[in-house]
């Protein structure tokens, strides 16, 4: 399917509104990426690489990898500004099955994330409101449905929520960084210094550390899911992606420096929530309340983004006959209503069944595969559609793209070695997905 026909079809089958701007693009990239992960991951990294130099080196390496990916997604997003982002890229470059695979794995991922993070808010909320203790599931459903109701009013509401929450989140993280560097704090005792790995052990530790870091950077390109709703996608997609990545990098590096300035590495190592330890050291008993409020705000932004994304994925797949055509229906406010409703139902099922953790373990494998498919899509489109207008071209192509592929393959190898159980389940799902795809192809949900 050519880009022109894709645009014509989108105009016929839905009425998404071009009302979003660069501020929303930044909010969706930053708001989805920066969350609880940066407050937890440093503990795992410190345990694997217990020296400041190695810790900062892997975070810098993660930043370089994110910049390589940003260049790829910027070209694809500006070239094909349609709802569904990566689904559309894979479908056009690699065909129906690749699009099917990317679309459904992303959709399952975002629905599972909605469930997991909503329930996490339910577990954290009693710290701020003790009366809610023991009602985590009820709080989770309340949070999810409140966001859905607000977004139902229209895409402007979803955009405003995302922007407001992201601004609050950035102010909160900036305040935590400044406090770590300027506020006096009591010395934190730690266990004896950990031994630094060498040789093969060091290589394994580096790969494992990079796994956590790459997951923590995931989300900076999510503006691509909204290309059809941006007022000027050819400019705003690349600008939103790169500015988001750069701001995320700055926050991540400064946060790690702040953590290292407050806590000894031995105390950070294996800590499930380094951010909480830092807040406690800085603010005493109030630290737990402060860091919990920051985490809840961060999670709200991520959940809001996942709800927006899940709806646009089903809408895009409905247009190509990979899902129900009714999923392309959009209300006057620009919200794909049925698609959003189905995503909410899926997230609710994940919450009630408690299966989201197992699902996310499998999806983690597919996430790496999807990154690789995006890099390959860029190469294929450069080869097969050399004359298609590209408002932005990936810098350093093809070498930077090939480097991103190599890093992705190494990362995938690390995931396979470190989590064989979920890798085998993912492989089984991959094998099953093809006959499922063939069945859908034969049925071909008619428009």
The per-residue pLDDT for range 354-375, each reduced to its tens digit, is 777 778 778 888 888 999 999 9
Residue pair 209/45 in contact by the 8 Å Cβ criterion: yes
pLDDT band of residue 7 (cuts 50, 70, 90) is very low
State pLDDT tens for residues 213-242: 888 999 999 999 999 999 999 999 999 999
> Which token pair is 254?
């400064």
As for how many domains the chain has, the answer is: 1
SS3 for 217-234, per residue?
HCCCCHHHHEHHHECCHH
pLDDT band of residue 438 (cuts 50, 70, 90) is confident
| pLDDT at res. 305 | 94
Residue-number span of the structural domain to which 212 is assigned: 22-443
| pLDDT at res. 190 | 57
Would the pLDDT of 3 be above 70? no
Average pLDDT, the chain: 89
State pLDDT tens for residues 323-336: 888 899 999 999 99
Mean pLDDT computed over 158-181: 93
Would the pLDDT of 144 be above 80? yes
**Matching residue, tokens 């930077």:** 400
Residue pair 360/99 in contact by the 8 Å Cβ criterion: no
192, 257, 215, 280: CA torsion to nearest 10: 70
| pLDDT at res. 444 | 64
Between these two residues, 37 and 104, which has the higher pLDDT value?
A: 104
> Which token pair is 164?
């407001």
Point out which residues pair with 20 in neighbouring strands: 230
Tell me whether residue 10 is in a domain: no
Would the pLDDT of 72 be above 80? yes
Would the pLDDT of 6 be above 60? no
Would the pLDDT of 2 be above 70? no
Tell me whether residue 7 is in a domain: no
Report the distance separating Cα 76 and Cα 387, nearest Å.
14
Residue 103 backbone dihedrals phi, psi, to 5 degrees: -60, -50
Least confident of 6-15, 155-164, 259-268: 6-15
Between these two residues, 238 and 8, which has the higher pLDDT value?
A: 238
User: What does each C-alpha distance from 280 to 47, 259, 289, 398 come to in angstroms?
Assistant: 20, 12, 9, 47
State pLDDT tens for residues 376-434: 999 999 999 999 999 999 999 999 999 999 999 988 888 888 778 888 988 898 889 89
Tell me whether residue 2 is in a domain: no
Q: Which helix (H) or strand (E) holds 173?
A: helix 155-182
| pLDDT at res. 10 | 41
Tell me whether residue 304 is in a domain: yes
| pLDDT at res. 202 | 86
Report the distance separating Cα 23 and Cα 26, nearest Å.
5
Mean pLDDT computed over 164-190: 86
Tell me whether residue 15 is in a domain: no
| pLDDT at res. 201 | 84
Would the pLDDT of 13 be above 50? no
Report the distance separating Cα 234 and Cα 71, nearest Å.
14
| pLDDT at res. 105 | 93
Would the pLDDT of 318 be above 80? yes
CATH number, position 56: 1.20.1740.10
| pLDDT at res. 1 | 41
Share of the chain above pLDDT 70, in %: 94
| pLDDT at res. 168 | 93
């Amino acid at each position: 399917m050519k880009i022109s026909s894709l645009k014509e079809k989108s105009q016929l089958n839905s009425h998404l509104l071009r009302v979003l701007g660069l501020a929303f693009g930044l909010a969706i990239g930053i708001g989805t990426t920066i969350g609880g992960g940066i407050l937890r991951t440093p503990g795992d990294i410190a345990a694997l690489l217990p020296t400041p130099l190695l810790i900062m080196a892997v975070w810098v390496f993660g930043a370089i990898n994110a910049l390589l990916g940003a260049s790829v997604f910027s070209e694809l997003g500006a070239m094909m500004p349609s709802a569904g982002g990566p689904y559309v890229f894979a479908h056009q470059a690699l065909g129906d099955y690749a699009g099917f695979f990317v679309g459904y794995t992303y959709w399952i991922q975002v629905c599972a994330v909605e469930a997991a993070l909503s329930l996490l808010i339910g577990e954290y909320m009693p710290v701020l409101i003790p009366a809610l203790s023991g009602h985590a599931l009820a709080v989770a459903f309340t949070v999810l449905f409140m966001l859905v109701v607000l977004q139902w009013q229209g895409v402007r509401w979803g955009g405003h929520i995302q922007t407001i929450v992201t601004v609050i989140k950035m102010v909160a993280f900036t305040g935590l960084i400044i406090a770590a560097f300027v506020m006096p704090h009591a010395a934190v005792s730690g266990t004896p210094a950990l031994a630094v790995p060498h040789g093969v052990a060091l290589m394994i530790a580096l790969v494992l550390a990079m796994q956590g870091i790459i997951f923590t950077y995931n989300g900076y390109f999510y503006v691509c899911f909204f290309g059809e709703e941006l007022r000027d996608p050819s400019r705003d997609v690349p600008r939103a992606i790169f500015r988001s990545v750069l701001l995320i990098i700055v926050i991540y590096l400064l946060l790690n420096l702040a953590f290292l300035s407050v806590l000894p590495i031995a105390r950070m190592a294996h800590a499930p929530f380094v951010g909480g330890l830092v807040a406690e050291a800085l603010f005493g008993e109030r630290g737990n309340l402060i860091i919990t409020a920051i985490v809840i705000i961060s999670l709200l932004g991520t959940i809001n983004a996942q709800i927006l994304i899940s709806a646009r994925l089903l809408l895009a797949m409905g247009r190509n006959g990979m899902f129900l055509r009714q999923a392309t229906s959009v209300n006057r406010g620009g919200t794909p209503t049925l698609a959003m409703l189905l995503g909410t139902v899926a997230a609710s099922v994940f919450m009630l069944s408690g299966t989201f953790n197992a699902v996310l373990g499998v999806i983690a494998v597919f996430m790496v595969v999807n990154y690789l498919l995006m890099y390959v899509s860029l190469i294929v489109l450069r080869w097969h559609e050399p004359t298609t207008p590209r408002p932005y071209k990936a810098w350093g192509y093809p070498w930077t793209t090939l480097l991103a592929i190599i890093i992705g393959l190494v990362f995938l190898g690390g995931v396979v070695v470190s989590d064989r159980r979920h890798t085998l389940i993912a492989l089984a799902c991959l094998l099953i997905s093809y006959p499922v795809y063939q069945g859908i192809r034969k049925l071909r949900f008619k428009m």
